[in-house]
Each structure stands twice: as structure tokens, then as C-alpha cells.
A and B are shown apart, each in its own frame.
Chain A
Amino acid sequence: MKKATLTALSALLLIGMTSTASAQKKTVTFLSGQNEDVGYTRIISDLAKEYQQKTPSVVYEYQNNTTNGTQKLQLLANSGNLPTLYSISEPTLLVQLYNKGEVADLEATFKKLGIYNKLNPVAVNINKKLTDGKLLGLPLELNIEGIWYNKKLFKESGIKEPKTWDEMMSAAEKFKAKGIQPFSASGDQKWPLTRLIGGYAARKYGADVMDRVKAGTLKLTDPGFIEAARVVQDMGKKGYFGQGVNTIDYDTAVDTFLQGKAAMFYMGSWVLRDLNDEKRNKIGAANVGFFNLPNVTGGKGSTSDWSINTGLTVAVNQKQNDAQLGNWLKYVFNSYANKSMADLGMLTGFKVSKMPKNVPTLTSMTQKKLNAAKNGYLWWEGLFSAKATAVSWDNVQPLVTGDLSPEEYMQQLQNALK
């Protein structure tokens, strides 16, 4: 009897101890679709581990999600098990989760922590557009998109940076005549092709084009959009993207450009990672140039409007947003920008306070363009639903091969917007 009481008492004691211990201990979990050793996940993990050494009560845990992210997040949210930080590819879902009180308002959180001034206003603005004017995602990257080109090939053919879309097309024609593939593009990924449609539309109607589509004042079946789809279709039909564009994956597209087999390559600044990689870049960093999508004759947009985004959105769990997490966020995001720049030469939506000396030339060149950018617009599908995004992506493949007319492309997309 005595023994039983003793066991019961010690069991109680044990329970008591573990519960007090767990009250102090906190686990910060980061669920991301990206591998831990690349890009922003690497920077966050490094900083979180540093913090864990200083503050052992806050344990950092990284989870790599290899399955369908949207589905997984829905399941986790439904069972109240969302991780502390998670990457989420669908802005609509993010807003839904915010409305249920699951997602932290980062503007309020960062202001409370006194680190709101660390954020780059351009990044904040562009990010807010995605989620109904609220800052729900961390701007872990800051990317601008444009056309990277092979300076050597341009020089050899006597071609200058094109100022208008027509000039770009005649340059493409010259390259094709010389047996050089004008553009490298991954049709397998689909979005690199729709970005061109979106870019053309932004030059035609101005940087606010997609906001107007969302508001309903512009319809995708309007002539300018059909023209945009036709221009990209013509590029495909004339063979400017090379053979079998729809089966080319992302890495092949990057390598085609980096091995000097293509003259131009539309891509975001995240590709700097590959451009700065001496092993992959066979044409040499000095031979890489960068220009914004050129103007369209009679268009309202201009080359001071850039397609800007903050990378894959990463949200913070409101239910875990307490003082301990606050300190963690403060620590990590105080050094995030500097460390990203120093370690990876990566541009982020946070302000760099100490520029490292050995920034690669291409990175600082891109940074300058980004700083000079007056207007930012989101990518073509930025404000679309998951369904409309899929329609846009899937249909661009038959569009560039000529199996779907520009009118049908835009009509189907307009129908999917409803």
C-alpha cells in the first residue's frame, strides 16, 4: 500500500515537472517545401540554431514538405496543428486561414517587436497586394524579373539591348537566322511562358493591369490581352524557344542559357544563384546582362515598372505568437538581410545594413536595378485563384505550339476567373 502511494506520488511529481518544463520550453517549427540547405531556409535555419545555442529553451525544428503543400496545410489547420512557420503557395488559402485567426498579422507583430523598420517598403507593398492589403507573409526574398542576355552573342551579332518589343523580336529573328536559339524557356514549368504574356499586358495597359482585371474594369478578352497571347504564340510558332519547349524543365532551360546555346532568358533574380555559380555558368558572369521587358508601341506601361515578388510566401502561426516567439523573430530577422547578402548574395525584403565587400558583380547590378525600380507589379497569376492559375499554365502549352488560339486562351482564362 505504501509502495503504491509512493509510486502515485512520484508519478504526480514527474507529471508536474514535465508540465512546468514544457511551459518554458518552446519549439519553433518551420515547414517548407524547399530543402534546408538552400536559400532562405538555410539562412533561417542557421540563425535559429545560433539562437538555440544562446537560448536552449527555444528549440528549432525544420520540416521538409515533399507532398502537396496546400492539402497538407489544410489537414494541419483542421486539426489545429499548424507549424510555427510554414511556406504556403496559395494566397487565397492564406487569407482564409487569417480570417480563422490562424495567421499572424506581421505588420502588427513586427511593429510591436520594434523591427518593422527592418522591412523594405517596396517588398511590403507588393506582398500586401497578394493578401487583401495585409502583411501576412514574410518577404524572405525580393525578386525582380526580366531578361538575362548573353552579351557576347549580342556583340557578335551587332545587336544592342532592345528598347521596344519589336526590336526584341527582330533581334530574335537575327539570332534564329544565325542558328542561335533566341530564348531559353521552360515550357514544362509553364509559368516562364505565361510571365511573358503578363509582361506584355503590363506594358500594354500599365503596371496596375491585373488589379484592374481583379476589379472587373478590364476583361481578359479585351484586345490588348489577345494581342499579348498572340505575341507569345508567334514566338513559339517561329521557334524562338527552340525545339520541344513544352518538355524542357527548369534546370535545362537555365543550362541552355548558361552554356551559351540561347541568347536571352526571361527569369527572376533568384536565378543569380546559378548565374554566380562558376561551375554552371560556362559563358562567364561578365558576359551576362540584364534588361527589363521592353516597351510596347502605344502601351501605357514603361520599363520603370518591374515584375517584383517576394518569393514563396512564408506565414507565421498566430496561435504560437507569444513573447518567446517574439524574441526569436527579433533575433532572426535582425540579421536575416545581412546574412542572406553575405552568405548567398541573395536579395531579400529586409534592409541590408552592412553591405559585404565581396558581393558578386551580377548581384550588385541587380540590386541597383531593384533600388531604381519605380513601380512593381505582380506576376500574371498573382491575383488568380488556384483554378485560374492552373488554366493559365495548362493552356499556355497548346498556345505556344499553335494548338489553341489566343482568343480561346483568354476566353477560357476569363471564364476561370469567375
Chain B
Amino acid sequence: MGENGDISLRVLLADLHIHTCLSPCATLDMTPCKIVKAALKKRLDIIGITDHNSAENTAAVMAAARGTGLTVIPGMEITTSEEVHIIGLFEDIDGALAMQTLVYDRLQPGENDEDLFGMQVVANEFDEVEGMNTRLLIGATRMHIDQVIDGIHHMKGLAVAAHIDREAFSVLGQLGFIPEYLNLDALEISRRMTLGQGRRLFSHIEGFPFITSSDAHDLEDIGTRPTAFRMAGSELPELGYALKGTGGRGIEY
């Protein structure tokens, strides 16, 4: 289906920022099957799996969702060298893993300390533990924010500035303002406020679409502040068209 072709649009509910048990700060309950179950219960159509600096659990969540009608977008929440969190969302697992290679090669050296930061559990689609990721996923990469965004686009992904209303790890908190040259596809408002409140609060920022997501670190958070997109399908390119408002697509609320 083409960008401007004969399309039938529908409204799909998406929560594009969800952590799994791989993120040291997420609860161990955030396993693939449980995440899928919680997302279906909240009537979400699309979820994004975005662990810190890793996409190792995305394939398991995609597999756990197979046949349920839920679309799982493989992603990653990347920490730039300025300590800004950028969400990368990818068309398929290959794109996510290619980005992961880029990130792992530039990740701050060191091993995760489970007592300090939490466990980094790699799980399979049956919620079984496959092993522990020992990298310092909570650390930063050596990539500048524009390099991270370019990298995501190079892998045909979408780049979203995470929780811009928060001070910690946000583009506004770390850089003070959003440089014009940043090729971001969207700005994310955290679940602390509605999309409307976020748009009003940041009305001085022009040229970027706003979305809201849960940034879920435990099961109850999933779907607490989803974005409804008007789109022709649940694949990533459609999401890109909806962010741009192409061919009648757009953000409903």
C-alpha cells in the first residue's frame, strides 16, 4: 500500500515505550508473555519494546505476541553521550539488532552491578530466563545525540526524544532546548500529563509531532498513557506517515 494510495484508515492505540526485565530499572515481572497479556488487557494495538541500550528481548516479545493481533515494534532507548534518552523504533528485528551492534560497540565499558542497578534478564518467548546481560546498560554511549538519530535513520527507524517533560535524561533537561538541526521524528511526553497538557506546556516548540507513552517499568504502567494514531496498518512505515500526517493519517489524541 503506497503512501498516498487508496487506503482505509482506522484508529490504533499504541504505547511505544515499554521496558522489559532486561532493563536494570524494570521489575522482573516484565517478561514477554506478561507484557503481551497486559497490553491486550489495555486494548493496545501496538507496543514498542525499548530497553536501555539493548534490543535483546525484542524478538522474544514479538514471538510471544504472534497470533494475538498485537503488533510489537522492536526498539531501544539509547543513552547519548549527553545523557539524553532517544527511542529508536525499527521496522524489523534486523534493524533493531543492527542498531544494537552500533550501540554495543560504543557503550561505556564496565559490567552491570545487579545490587546497585538491578538485574538484566534476557528472556525467551515462554518467559524463561535465557541468561543475564552483563553489559553496563545503564551507562551512556559515546555517540552524540545527532549520531544516534542518524544511526536510527540509517537502520530505517524512527527517532523519538523520550520524556521531554522530565529533567533527567531528556533533551530539554540535558541540552536546554531542542537544536533545530536535530532530525527527530517525534517528541514524547511522559505519562505524568496528557498529550494536550504537554502540547500546551511546550507550545513554543514547533515542527515536531508530540506523542505520549507509558515508559512502563512494571506491568501496571503498560498502556497508562497511549497515543491513538489514525493509520492504515500497524507497521512502522505507517507510524512514520501518521507522525508526518501523510494522506489523512495523524495523531488522534
A and B together in one complex: no
